[in-house]
Each structure stands twice: as C-alpha cells, then as structure tokens.
C-alpha cells in the first residue's frame, strides 16, 4: 500500500518539465535535495525503483558548459549502460555496458553490441587516439586496430594479443 502518491495525466510536456521537482535553494550550503532512509533490516527492497519503458537517471553538472558534466545511467534492451553526452550535446554515447547473465553476461567498454556472439566476454572498442604519454605509477590497457595493447609507465608498449 502506498502512503503518498502523486499522479499526473497532463498533456504533452516539454522534455525539461517533470511531475515532481525537489529544489534546494540555499546556495551557501551543499546539502542533498532528496534523502531516502529505509528502516528495513533484511534488504531485498529497492530504495528507488523506476518502472518505465526506457528507464534512466540523468546527472547534469549545472555549473559546466554543455556538454560537460552530463551523464546517465540507462537500461535498454537487457543492458545497463553508463552513458556520457556527446560533443555536439545532441545525444548520449555508451561508455560502459553490462548485460544481464541471461542475456549474455557481457561487459562492453565503448561498445554495446560487439560481443562476437560470445557470452561472459569483455569487449573493448578501438581507442580513438592511442596514448602518447607515459602514465605515472601504472599502465594503460587499450585496443588499437583490433590489437590489445598495454603501455607501461616507462613508455614500453606491449602487444598482448595481435588483431
């Protein structure tokens, strides 16, 4: 049984409008605009649940120039995606995707579909620009022309797996 329910049957709304808006208006304090506290001790209940044909949560860093600071967590066709706004600020681009186990259990980095028919695989898209500087205290794993490569902190590039 629901304690409080807000229902809207408005006509077509602009994409920026909402059924409910929570606003924290004091710019001198950095406090949450919404806090959810669950008293349950057994787990299993969702603190936030979204039932929607295309559920997503969008994060917009409001003190940045578009498209900087625009990200979303979305669910599409059995995939949980972490997306970032594209340079033209016209759409989101997939950064990382996770498939449910029953749908393949794959993980994609900069790809949502290139799993080669595999299940339980990690797919990495080609780097748009291979690293040109040495990392400090670590290394960089990337794909270039289909070859899996590693660049260490001393600048050595090792081909782990050729294309």
Residues 6+ apart with CB under 8 A from 140: 131, 150, 151
Give the Cα separation of 83 and 92 in Å (integer): 6
Residues 89 and 66 sit within 8 Å (Cβ to Cβ): yes
Q: Which residue has the higher pLDDT, 102 or 18?
A: 102
Q: Where would I find the beta strands (DSSP E) of the chain?
A: 56-60, 70-76, 79-85, 92-99, 107-109, 122-124, 139-144, 147-152, 157-161
Question: pLDDT tens digit string along 75-119?
Answer: 998 999 999 988 888 889 999 999 999 999 999 999 988 999 999
The contacts found for 75-79 with CB under 8 angstroms, 24 or more apart, are: 78/102, 78/103, 79/103, 79/112
pTM of the full predicted structure?
A: 0.79
Structure token digits, residue 95? 């950064």
The pLDDT tens digits of the residues spanning 24-63 come to 888 888 888 888 888 888 877 788 889 999 899 999 888 8
Local confidence band at 23 (pLDDT 50, 70, 90 cut-offs): confident
- Residue position matching structure tokens 């979204």: 50
Main-chain phi, psi angles of 95, to 5 degrees:
-100, -50
pLDDT of 80: 96
Contact assessment for residue 45 and residue 36, using Cβ atoms and an 8 Å cutoff: no
Contact present, 71 and 81 (Cβ < 8 Å): no
Give the span between the Cα atoms of 122 and 99, in whole angstroms: 11
């Amino acid at each position: 049984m629901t304690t409080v329910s807000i229902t809207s049957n408005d006509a077509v709304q602009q994409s920026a409008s909402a059924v409910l808006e929570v606003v924290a208006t004091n710019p001198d304090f950095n406090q949450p605009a919404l806090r959810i506290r669950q008293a349950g001790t057994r787990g299993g209940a969702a603190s936030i649940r979204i039932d929607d044909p295309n559920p997503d949560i969008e994060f917009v860093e409001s003190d940045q120039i578009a498209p900087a600071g625009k990200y979303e967590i979305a669910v599409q066709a059995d995939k949980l995606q972490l997306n970032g706004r594209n340079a033209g600020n016209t759409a989101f681009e997939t950064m990382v995707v996770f498939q449910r186990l029953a749908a393949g259990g794959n993980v994609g980095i900069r790809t949502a579909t290139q799993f080669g028919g595999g299940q339980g695989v990690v797919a990495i898209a080609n780097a748009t620009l291979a690293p040109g500087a040495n990392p400090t205290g670590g290394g960089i794993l990337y794909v270039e022309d289909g070859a899996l490569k590693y660049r260490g902190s001393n600048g050595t590039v090792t081909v782990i797996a050729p294309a």
